[in-house]
Chain A
């Protein structure tokens, strides 16, 4: 009986539910005895020269051990932007601001105290003098007409360019009967994992640093920290406690993590830091933040023949991974459609706001949101059903890899089936009929039906080399097993699923298999968890290691049974090798670990990234008097290949859908014109609660990939990618009969009301 494909409840849960998981702030370790506590002082102003930072009063505050400003860290390198060939490397963030502050929340000083409560008291006594500089907040102005330059030596606020704007073809839309164009917003959002950032650090007598940090890949965190501390990675051990969510914002390391480690070395004692939520809202990297000009053209029969996407990416004050994301947006620009002429370009610019990083989907939701809006705008312009326009333009089913004009190689896809399955599950015809009834009756509450077809890229390679992951599997004489993985789960359930994969091959029960990750001394290499890579690389590596272990074991079994290895059969039900046809001549797998360790390490190298796909149907009700949007239903097909644990796969879809929907009608990070954050607490930021979403309706579809033996792709981000445009399109659809053509993300009540006001006033909406 295969365990794969069954709903196995998680092995992690009993501890999580009773004593709670052990997050970084929970860690109790004798190495951290005598710890001091680090509290950051942050800039209250978006752009200014620092005249002076005075810590003298803070030093007198009760419990203060020390206080440091940027000058103290002058010999440490700044946090360099990623991808230095693509992104301007001069735009680097010093660990503590030195001459200039560039965003509200930028760390300016640290105070170190004996206990946690004293830090905030002392921080209030640090006084800093700032000479304000003009704040760059408006994205378009930042690029072309900036009030100031964040990095004068760079001569521009543009930090990266993708594609060649001068090569855009003026005649791209020639011959199109219909051309529609609009500039739209994919707004800045806050990843807001429930666990904020934290660190605990101690330097040993051997000069090695041990740091506990919540992250998405200990190996990457080690590398990033080592660079900021100007030490060799081998001098640093990262231990990853349980992580309370990440969503892309806990990759690598931030300046604060490095400062905590530096403090521990400077003071010769362990140091700990736990970020407050209000700090997190302004100092953890934000997500999305693109301005997009979409142009789409085709004929009245519904065929789309041309599409252009021009992107302005807000990088925030210092380019982080967000500056690079437009490259992924461009890669996925045409989505699942067969559009004969398509082009895309992008610029990333710095502004005096929180730096932008990866956030669930990282560049691909932006692509899908843009093309899905364009398809709907085109459909509205030609007066055709958006489902029909999609059907006509989706790439027909393909089982051999398909290369797009943008260089993406989609491994397998069946987009029309996914769309039809979602429409069917939603009862599309009945929904349109209900919508028609309400329109005819002039109901105050109108019904909107929104669609999104999507394809997304998962498991893309690391910066160097083909996508790969390692796994080590060891079986012990007592019949238990341990797996070491280079992935880094933070809610995805690898402890359970990797155990399932090994259990399937080795016949060892899941609850006797321990999965370990996140300790760089134990597992020096690994790609972490993000970009929906883990199952298709890490999970496949676990299976591969298990099979390789069986081959090693087979030789030992043959010797033990004095038989020919080829005559042995491995029986997972018994977790034993048997002589074929003679079950009594058997040796348990565990016994083969007695004389010599039974352990195998393997690396699975994937042929390339895989491309999950799907279709979402969202149903909303819009109160045409108040503008309030209520999300009634989200029906999805999310095809990420073979499903190993449906319980967990569904959970990933639910969570993704909720975040995607939240971006469509609720969440938004806002700044005023001076760069002051307006949504810097959980009270002000409209974080989605249980009352804003319904239960979701998931339809099943699983088209295996040929890229790995399990046939799996990545499910983690798909839900987010499909849900945002589906919900946005639904809101606009609800009001289309009144003349509304577009409402920017998020469709807040005021935005909806304004759109209705504008159409009544005869303005273009």
Chain B
């Protein structure tokens, strides 16, 4: 299975990428690592007439500290996020989440920006960013803007990115220390989560419990109100409307959300 034909443009800078996006409009898609876009194109679920390659734009990659935050360039690949000493010490949940994506080969190419912009509700990084209270730095014809992770994921595989905008970086608050947990429930190694849970500092984010990564608000509030981990986790599925598929029906997904939230709140990874 191979993509439908398209034209290829290699962006030389972020600005150049924006020009190309403006020129080609909705017919164009950005290509970084290509491990969200190319699989879709190979199945012909996506068929842009123009592909704009930002994979070689140096200014879009890299990890640095920026005050109370870490700033991670959008085209930084998962393997580099996972291995970064800075991320491992300052936002260990993010390093862990990046290490869960797919398999080693996928992590060598897939990028944090690409994964986040793809917005698969079952994916690791969108959930992790919501748990961390991260935000997304976006560049567009109207200038730069920042959107919180809570507001960024608009719907099923949909973000608040406009077609003429470029995600340039991911910003996460520095949160060193062991107060985080992560659970990714799969049947088989490199699957997407049947249900995923990431917790950090009182925030609980769920993957594959709805069309976007969702916050387990009732559970968070219970925790904030002094409830035990077990009692809070029992509320993890409140307000969720998970889809049914070959792996899990609704009731089972909600059950998993409760169990995995409890385990994540106990600072377990798995």
Complex: A in contact with B (CB within 8 Å): yes
A binding-site residues for B, Cβ under 8 Å: 117, 120-121, 124, 276-278, 625-626, 628, 666, 670, 678-679, 683-684, 686-692, 748-750, 753-754
Complex CA gap A117/B44 in Å reads 13
- Docked pose: A686 CA to B189 CA in angstroms: 9
Chain B residues whose C-beta falls within 8 Å of the C-beta of A628 in the assembled complex: 185, 187
Give the nearest-CB partner of B188 in chain A.
A686
Q: What is the 8 Å Cβ interface bit string for chain B, positions 158-201, against chain A (1 contact, 0 not)?
A: 00000000000000000000000000010111110010000000
B1-40 contacts to A, CB under 8 A, are 1-2, 4-5
Q: Which residue of A lies closest to B247 (CB)?
A: A750
Write the nearest CB–CB distance from A625 to chain B, whole angstroms.
Answer: 5
Q: Which residue of B lies closest to A124 (CB)?
A: B44
Inter-chain contact A686/B1, CB cutoff 8 Å: no
In the bound complex, CA of A678 to CA of B245 (Å) = 9
The digit string for B252-267, where 1 denotes a CB below 8 A from any CB of A, is 1001100110000000
A748 CA to B187 CA in the complex, in Å?
8
A753:B255 contact, CB within 8 angstroms:
yes
State which of A276, A277, A678 has its C-beta within 8 Å of the C-beta of B246.
A678
Within the assembled complex, what's the spacing in Å between the Cα atoms of A124 and B1?
A: 12
B85 adjacent to chain A (CB < 8 Å) = no
B249-A626 in contact (CB<8A)? no
The reply to whether the CB of B248 lies closer than 8 angstroms to some CB of chain A is yes
With A and B bound together, what is the CA distance between A513 and B259 in angstroms? 61
Q: By the criterion CB–CB under 8 Å, are B5 and A121 in contact?
A: yes
Task: Find chain A residues with CB under 8 A from B259 CB.
Answer: 625-626
With A625-B259, A626-B259, A679-B246: A749-B5 Cβ-Cβ less than 8 Å: no
Known: A670-B246, A750-B247, A750-B249. Is A691-B256 also a contact (CB below 8 A)? no
Cross-chain contact A120 with B1 (CB below 8 angstroms): yes
CB of B256 within 8 A of CB of A120, answer no
What A residues does B249 contact at CB under 8 A?
750
A and B contact pairs by CB, cutoff 8 A, 18 listed: A120-B2, A121-B4, A121-B5, A276-B1, A625-B259, A626-B256, A628-B185, A628-B187, A684-B246, A686-B187, A689-B189, A691-B188, A749-B185, A749-B194, A749-B252, A750-B247, A750-B252, A753-B255
List, in ascending order, chain B residues with CB within 8 A of A120's CB.
Answer: 1-2, 44
A666 touches B247 (CB 8 A): no
- State which of B1, B4, B190, B260 has its C-beta within 8 Å of the C-beta of A689: B190
Q: Count of A-B contacts with CB under 8 A?
A: 53
CA distance A690 to B255 in the complex (A): 28
> Known contacts A666-B187, A686-B191; is A117 also within 8 Å of B252 by CB?
no
Q: How far is B250's CA from A484's CA once the two chains are assembled, in angstroms?
A: 59
With both chains docked as a complex, state the minimum distance between the C-beta of A272 and any C-beta of chain B, in angstroms.
Answer: 16
When chains A and B are docked, how far (Å) is the Cα of A124 from the Cα of B43? Answer: 12
How far does the alpha carbon of A121 sit from the alpha carbon of B4 in the complex, in Å? 7
Give every chain B residue within 8 A of A277 (Cβ-Cβ): 1
Chain A, residue nearest B103 (CB): A689
- Please provide the chain B residues from 207 to 252 with a CB less than 8 Å away from any CB of chain A in the complex: 246-249, 252
Which of B1, B194, B246 gathers most chain A CB within 10 Å?
A: B246
Q: Chain B's nearest CB lies how many Å from the CB of A396? A: 42
B185 surroundings in chain A (CB, below 8 A): 626, 628, 749
Q: How far is the CA of A34 from the CA of B256 in the complex (A)?
A: 57
> Which residue in chain B gives the minimum CB-CB distance to A120?
B2
A contact residues around B190 at 8 Å (CB): 689
Interface centre among B187, B190, B256 (most CB of A within 10 A): B187
* A689 B188 Cβ-Cβ under 8 A: yes
Q: Are B189 and A691 in contact (CB under 8 A)?
A: yes
Closest to B5 in A: A121
Residues of B within 8 A of A689 (CB): 188-190
A753–B256 Cα gap in the complex (Å)? Answer: 10
Give the complex CA separation of A120 and B3 in angstroms.
Answer: 9
The residue among B1, B4, B252, B259 with the most chain A CB atoms within 10 A of its own CB is: B252
Residues of chain A with a CB closer than 8 A to B246's CB: 670, 678-679, 684
**Bound form: Cα–Cα A688–B255 in Å:** 25
Min Cβ gap A761→B in Å is 12
Task: Please measure, in the bound complex, the distance between the C-alpha atom of A278 and the C-alpha atom of B191, giving whole angstroms.
Answer: 17
Select one of A117, A278, A666, A679 contacting B188, CB under 8 A.
Answer: A666
Complex interface: chain A residues within 8 A of B256 (CB): 626
User: How long is the Cα–Cα vector from A688 to B190 in the complex, in angstroms?
Assistant: 10
Contact A692 to B44, CB < 8 A, known contacts A278-B1, A626-B256, A750-B248: no
In the complex formed, the residue of B with least CB distance to A679 is B246
Residues of A within 8 A of B2 (CB): 117, 120
Contacts of A748 in B (CB 8 A): 187, 247
Instruction: Given contacts A278-B1, A626-B259, list 12 more A-B pairs with CB under 8 A.
Output: A120-B1, A120-B44, A626-B185, A626-B256, A628-B187, A666-B187, A686-B191, A689-B188, A692-B189, A749-B252, A750-B249, A750-B252
Contacts of A686 in B (CB 8 A): 187-188, 191
Nearest-CB distance from A122 to chain B (Å)? 12
Chain A residues, CB < 8 A from B44? 120, 124
CB-nearest residue of chain A to B252: A750
For B1, list chain A residues within 8 Å (CB). 120, 276-278
**Distance of A681 from chain B, by nearest CB (Å):** 8
Alpha-carbon separation in the docked complex, A684 to B188 (Å): 10
On whether the beta carbons of A687 and B5 are closer than 8 Å, the reply is no
Residues in A neighbouring B43, C-beta threshold 8 A: 278
Closest 10 CB pairs of A and B: A691-B189, A689-B189, A686-B188, A625-B259, A750-B252, A678-B246, A276-B1, A686-B187, A117-B2, A670-B246
**Separation of A307 and B247 alpha carbons in the complex (Å):** 35
Most buried by A among B5, B188, B256: B188
Across the interface, which residues of A come within 8 angstroms of B194, CB to CB?
A: 749
Instruction: Give the residue name and chain of the A residue nearest to B4 (CB).
Output: A121
Bound-state CA distance A754–B255 (Å) is: 11
Docked Cα-Cα span, A277 to B2, in Å, equals 12
Residues of A within 8 A of B247 (CB): 748, 750
Q: Which of B35-73 contact A (CB under 8 A)?
A: 43-44
Q: Which residue of A lies closest to B251 (CB)?
A: A757
Q: Which residues of B contact A278 (CB under 8 A)?
A: 1, 43
Q: Please give, as numbers and ranges, the residues of chain B lying within 8 Å of A692 by CB-CB distance.
A: 188-189
Shortest distance between the CB of A307 and any CB in chain B (Å): 33
Q: How far is the CA of A679 from the CA of B187 in the complex (A)?
A: 14
CB-CB under 8 A from B248, the residues of chain A are: 749-750
The chain B residue sitting closest to A625, CB to CB, is: B259
Question: Nearest chain-A residue to B183 (Cβ)?
Answer: A626
Residues of B near A750 (CB, < 8 A) are 247-249, 252
CB distance from B200 to the nearest CB of A (A): 22
CA–CA, A254 and B252, complex, Å:
41
A687 engages B255 (CB within 8 Å): no
Instruction: With both chains docked as a complex, state the minimum distance between the C-beta of B68 and any C-beta of chain A, in angstroms.
Output: 37
Minimum CB–CB distance from A622 to chain B (whole Å) comes to: 14
Bound: A683/B246 CA distance, A: 12
A687 touches B188 (CB 8 A): yes
A99 to B269, CA, bound (A): 56
Q: Is the CB of A688 within 8 A of B188?
A: yes
Q: Considering the chains assembled together, what is the distance between the CA atoms of A160 and B252 in angstroms?
A: 39
Complex Cα gap A573–B4 (Å): 63
Contacts of A683 in B (CB 8 A): 191
- Pick the residue among A666, A679, A753 that contacts B252 (CB under 8 A): A753
CA distance A628 to B43 in the complex (A): 31
Tell me the minimal C-beta distance from A756 to chain B in angstroms. Answer: 10
The chain A residue with its CB closest to the CB of B44 is: A124
Given A120-B2, A121-B5, A684-B246, A749 and B255 touching (CB < 8 A)? no
CB closest residue in chain B, given A627: B252
Question: Which residues of the partner chain B approach A117 to less than 8 Å between Cβ atoms?
Answer: 2
Chain A nearest CB from B110 CB (Å) reads 14
User: How far is it, in angstroms, between the C-alpha of A149 and the C-alpha of B150 when the chains are bound?
Assistant: 53
Shortest Cβ gap from B245 to chain A (Å): 8
Q: How far is the CB of A734 from chain B (nearest CB, A)?
A: 17
A678–B248 Cα gap in the complex (Å)? 13
CB distance from A418 to the nearest CB of B (A): 31
Chain A residue nearest in CB terms to B263: A625
* Chain B residues, Cβ within 8 Å of A679: 246
How far is B2's CA from A120's CA once the two chains are assembled, in angstroms?
Answer: 8
